[in-house]
Structure 1
Amino acid sequence: MVDSVVITGCGVTCCLGNTADSLFSALIAGKSGVHKTRGYDEEGLSMTPSAQAHCLDAESVGISQKHARIMNTHSYLLMESAISAYKSARFGEDLYPPNRIGFFAGLGMVDYETSDLLPAVLKSWQNEFNYDTFFTKGYREIYPLWPLAMLNNIAFCQGSITLNLRGDNTVCSPHGESAVYAITEGISSVLNCKSAAVIVGGVSEKVNPQSLIKGRVFEIISKDSTEDALRPFSQKRAGSILGEAGAFVALEPYHAAKKRGIPFISSITGWGFAFDYEDNGFSFPTTEAIVHSMEVAIARSGITPEDVDVVIAHADGTHSDTNEIEAINAVFSHSEKTLVTATTGAIGNTFAATPAINIILADCMIKHSTVPPSLNSTPLDDRIKFKFVTGKPVNAKVNTVLINSLSYEGHASTIIVQRCA
C-alpha cells in the first residue's frame, strides 16, 4: 500500500482557455465564456446561450481523418486534456511502463449529428419518408461505422491508444458523479498498487441541437437567452446552460513524485457518495443526500468542517441549488472561515468534466491563495447563511477545498483536495 496520491499534472480545455493557468486567470478576472451558440444558426439555436470550448479539430490532437469519422468534439476535448495532463506530469515509458499507467474517465452522452443521417433521409424521401426505400438503398448513405460514433468509450479507447496507456482502466457515465467515480477508482488503483500512476478526469457532452433540446425536455436548460442565463445560488436563477470541456489530472504516489522531483502542491484525500431524490417532478438529490456525501468525504479525509477553507459548489442554477444551499448551511453552520464559490456562471454546466475542472482549480487556489468569484449570482438566494464569493476574488490562505458534484438522477458526490504537508 502507498500512503497518499498527489496531483502531478493537469490538462484542461474549455470556453475560457486550454490551460489551467489561462482558465484560473480568466475566472479571477471575472470573465465569462458564455456566448450565443455557434454553428447552428439554420436550426434556430443561435440565440441560445452556451459555453462552447475553443475550437479543436482531429488534426490538432493527432487523430487521423479515417478515425475522425467516428469521433467528434467530445473526442477532441478528451484527447487534448488527457495528453496535456500526461505531458505536464512528464510521464513516459522510461518512468512508468504502459501497463502500469491507469486511465479512468467520466464521459457524457454522445448525441448524433443531423448531418450524419440527413443524406439517408433525403435518399428515402418521396413526398414523405419511405421505409422501403430506406431499407433497400437509403441506409447505404450512412457511414457503415457510424453506430460506433454513438459510443462514448470510442474516444476513451483512442486516447488510450494515442498515449499508449495499457493499465487499469474504466469509463463511467453520464453526469458529474461519473467523473468522481472514475477519479476515485483511479486513486484506489494506485493505493492498491494496481497502477503506478493514473490519468483521471472527465469530458462533457457536445453542445448541439440534440443536447439542447434534451435539456429543455428535462427542464434543465434556462429559457433565458441572455449570456448571464446561468445564475448560481441567485434569487433570479432560471435554469442551467450547457458547457463544453475536458479535464484530466495525473496522480501518483507521494514518495514516487517526491523522488523524481516533479513539483506538486496538493493531494486528493477524501470522497463521498449518496443517492436519494424527492418525487416532486424533479430528480435532483435531496438535501440529506448532499449532506451525507459531504460528511462522508470530510470523515474520510480525517478533518472537520471547520478545516474546510473553500467549497466549490455544484450550483448549476436549477432547482437543485435550493437543496445544495441547505446542505452547505447544515454542514458548515459552525464554520466562520469557509468560503463558497461556483464556476458554472462562467463556464456553464460541463457535466462529467466539472469535477476534474474543479480539482484543477482547487490546486490553483491552494497554489495562489486566491478564491475566484461566482458570476451572475446577485441578488443572492436569501436562504444562504455562508460566505459566498461574488463580485471580486478573495485572497485567503487555502489548505483544503471541498468540491460538490450533483446529477439530475439523484446522485450526490463530493471530493476533497488538500495542500500536501
Structure 2
Amino acid sequence: MENRVVITGSGLVCSLGSTESEVWSRLVAGEEGTAPVGRSDCDSFHCPAARTERFSEANPGIQQRLGQIMDTHLALLMKAVGDAVLGSGLNAGDIPADQRGFFAGMGMVDYEVADLLPAVLESLGPAGELDYNRFYSQGYTHIYPLWPLAMLNNIAFCQVGIRYDIRGENCVFSPYADSGLYAIAEGYRTVKEGRAKLALCGGVSDKISASSLARAVLSQLLDSSGDGARCRPFSIVRKGSILGEGCGIVAVELLSHAAQRKAVPLAEVLGFGSASDGEGELSHPGSDTISQAMCTALDQSGIKPSDIDLLIAHADGNPAGDEAEMEAIHTVFSGCFDRLMVYSSKGALGHMSAAAPAVDTLIGINCMRNGMVPPTLHADPVDHRVRFDLVAGECRPSRVRRCLINSRSHEGRCASLVIGSCG
C-alpha cells in the first residue's frame, strides 16, 4: 500500500453530456457529439465540431466582477472539478487547504469581437475609419477594465482554486493535448512524494471559436473537407480532425490516505512517460519518440507490454500523426496483438486539446469498471497497415485490467499514462 497512488474522484463534461455516466452510456451506444458549429463567424471554415451544451455559466463560486470576463472554459473546469471534489469527498473538509494540489492542462483563451466593439465604435473617424488618436484618448475607456485578464488562461484556474480553497502546490500546463497528461503526472508525483494529501488534475479544452478554428487550420490539424468532415482515427481516408470542447478532472491521493478517509479507489495510477523529438513547429512526434514515451510509462509501472489490455490512442485522424502512432504501437506491442485492444475517442468527441487525454483517462477507468470498450467511430475503412485489434463498429464486452493512454502535441512532444484496475 505504501506510495501507491489511486484515483478517488472524477469529473467529466463534453459534447455528449455534462456527467460522466451520461457520457459513458452514450459512448457505449455509439453516439457522437458532432454537429454544425452554430456560430455565424465560423461559417467560412465549413466544418462541424463537437461543442458542449451551453449550460449556465453562472456559479456562486465565481467572483461577480471576474465572472463578467469568464467564458466556456471556466464553466467546464468548474463543473468537472466540482464533480471530482464531490466524488473524492474533498468537500468533507478533512484535508487542510495547503495540502490540496491542483494541476491543469489548459489551452488558449480567445476574446469575442463584441468585447471590443464599443471601444471601436467610439473611435471611428468621419469616414468610418479607426482613429487611433480617438481610441487612445477616449475609446479605450469603453473596454471593461478587467478584460485583459480574460486572455490569461490561469484566471479560470485561479477562480476554481479560490472556490475550493486550494492553497497547496499548483501549476498550469499549456497549450496542447499532452499538457493534460503532464498535469495528471504532476499530481501523481506530488502526492507520491508527500507534497500534498490530494491533488485535482486534468485538462480543459479551448472554446470553439473563429480564432480556435483558425489556429487549427494553421496547425494543419483540421479536416477541412466540408460539412461532412469527421475525425477518422486510423482510417485509410483520414484527413485530419475536428475540434471538441470538454474537461476531464481526476482526484489522486495515496492508497493509504484514501483508506484512512474511507474513500473508494476508482483506479490506480501506475506510471507515466514522455518524450520529444525536438524537430520544431508543426511536427508530430515520430514513431520512435512515441515508442519511447510508452516504454518509459511501462517501465515506471513495472509491467510488460503484454500486461496492457487496452490502449487508448491519441489518433486524431492526422495522416502522418496516426501513421507514426500506428508504427509505434506495432513496435512496442509486437507479439501482443492477440490480447491488446486499441480505441480512440476522437471520432465521437472531436479533438479536445488539453482535455483529450484527461477525458480518455476517465474513459479508461469506465472500461475497467464496466467491462466494456466503446467503438471507435468513423474508422472504417481501417488503414490496411493496422495490425492491432482496433475496437470499431460496436462496443465490445471485455475484461480490462490495465490501460495505457497516449497523447501528443503537434510540436514533437508526446506522453503516455498507465492506469490499472483496483478490483
With structure 2 as the length reference, what TM-score do the two structures score? 0.95
1:81 aligns with 2:80: yes
1:366 aligns with 2:365: no
Contact 2:271–2:297, Cα closer than 8 Å, also in 1: yes
| Alignment match, 2:276 | 275
| Alignment match, 1:57 | 56
Shift of 1:42: 5.0
1:9 aligns with 2:9: yes
| Alignment match, 1:312 | 312
Residues 71-129 of structure 1 deviation map (CA, whole Å, 9 limit, x = unaligned): 11111111110111001111135421111111111111111111111222222223322
- Map 1:349-360 onto structure 2 (within 5 A): 349-360=351-362
Residues 207 and 368 of structure 1: is their aligned pair in 2 closer, same or farther, counting only changes over 3 Å?
Answer: same
- Map 1:228-377 onto structure 2 (within 5 A): 229-276=230-277, 282-318=282-318, 319-335=320-336, 336-377=338-379
Shift of 1:382: 1.6
Rounded to whole Å, the distance in 2 between the matches of 1:147 and 1:92 is 32
Contact 1:278–1:286, Cα closer than 8 Å, also in 2: no
1:380 equivalent among 379, 382, 389: 382
Contact 1:365–1:398, Cα closer than 8 Å, also in 2: yes
Q: Give the match's secondary structure for 1:44.
A: helix
Residues 376 and 253 of structure 1: is their aligned pair in 2 closer, same or farther, counting only changes over 3 Å?
Answer: same
Residues 171-210 of structure 1 deviation map (CA, whole Å, 9 limit, x = unaligned): 1111121121111111111111110111111111010111
Contact 1:111–1:210, Cα closer than 8 Å, also in 2: yes
Residues 314 and 61 of structure 1: is their aligned pair in 2 closer, same or farther, counting only changes over 3 Å?
Answer: farther
Q: Give the match's secondary structure for 2:420.
A: strand
Rounded to whole Å, the distance in 1 between the matches of 2:395 and 2:282 is 33
| Alignment match, 2:67 | 68
Shift of 1:264: 2.0
Paired amino acid for 1:419: S
Rounded to whole Å, the distance in 1 between the matches of 2:391 and 2:227 is 22
Q: Structure 2: which 5+ residue stretches go unaligned?
A: none
Paired amino acid for 1:362: G
Shift of 1:247: 1.1
Paired amino acid for 2:8: T
Which moved further from structure 2: 143-152 or 89-98? 89-98
| Alignment match, 2:110 | 111
Contact 2:223–2:229, Cα closer than 8 Å, also in 1: no
Residues 238-271 of structure 1 deviation map (CA, whole Å, 9 limit, x = unaligned): 1111111111011111122123332224111111
Rounded to whole Å, the distance in 2 between the matches of 1:139 and 1:96 is 45
Contact 2:11–2:79, Cα closer than 8 Å, also in 1: yes
1:23 aligns with 2:37: no
Contact 1:13–1:54, Cα closer than 8 Å, also in 2: no
Contact 2:37–2:51, Cα closer than 8 Å, also in 1: yes
Rounded to whole Å, the distance in 2 between the matches of 1:346 and 1:282 is 25
Q: Give the match's secondary structure for 2:250.
A: strand
Rounded to whole Å, the distance in 1 between the matches of 2:310 and 2:203 is 22
| Alignment match, 1:102 | 101
4+ aligned runs moved over 3 Å, structure 1: none
Rounded to whole Å, the distance in 2 between the matches of 1:94 and 1:349 is 36
Rounded to whole Å, the distance in 2 between the matches of 1:30 and 1:247 is 20
Residues 134-192 of structure 1 deviation map (CA, whole Å, 9 limit, x = unaligned): 11112112111111000000000000000111111111111121121111111111111
Which moved further from structure 2: 377-386 or 129-138? 129-138
Identity of matched residues, %:
39
1:181 aligns with 2:200: no
Rounded to whole Å, the distance in 1 between the matches of 2:16 and 2:352 is 13
Rounded to whole Å, the distance in 2 between the matches of 1:299 and 1:154 is 37
Paired amino acid for 2:118: P
Contact 1:293–1:412, Cα closer than 8 Å, also in 2: yes
| Alignment match, 1:413 | 415
Rounded to whole Å, the distance in 1 between the matches of 2:356 and 2:228 is 20
Contact 1:235–1:380, Cα closer than 8 Å, also in 2: yes
Paired amino acid for 2:112: E
Q: Give the match's secondary structure for 2:387.
A: coil
Rounded to whole Å, the distance in 2 between the matches of 1:242 and 1:345 is 10
Residues 332-388 of structure 1 deviation map (CA, whole Å, 9 limit, x = unaligned): 111020000000011110011111111111110110111111100110112211000
Contact 2:7–2:252, Cα closer than 8 Å, also in 1: yes
- The size of the alignment, in residue pairs, is 419
Shift of 1:228: 5.2
Rounded to whole Å, the distance in 2 between the matches of 1:350 and 1:155 is 17
Rounded to whole Å, the distance in 2 between the matches of 1:33 and 1:61 is 29
Contact 2:249–2:358, Cα closer than 8 Å, also in 1: yes
Rounded to whole Å, the distance in 2 between the matches of 1:164 and 1:35 is 37
| Alignment match, 2:33 | 33
Shift of 1:5: 0.8
Q: Give the match's secondary structure for 1:92.
A: helix
Paired amino acid for 1:334: G
Rounded to whole Å, the distance in 1 between the matches of 2:279 and 2:168 is 40
Rounded to whole Å, the distance in 1 between the matches of 2:243 and 2:24 is 20
Computed over aligned residues only, the root mean square deviation of the Cα atoms, in angstroms, reads 1.7
Q: Give the match's secondary structure for 1:268.
A: strand
Which moved further from structure 2: 147-156 or 93-102? 93-102
Rounded to whole Å, the distance in 2 between the matches of 1:373 and 1:106 is 26
Contact 1:106–1:202, Cα closer than 8 Å, also in 2: yes
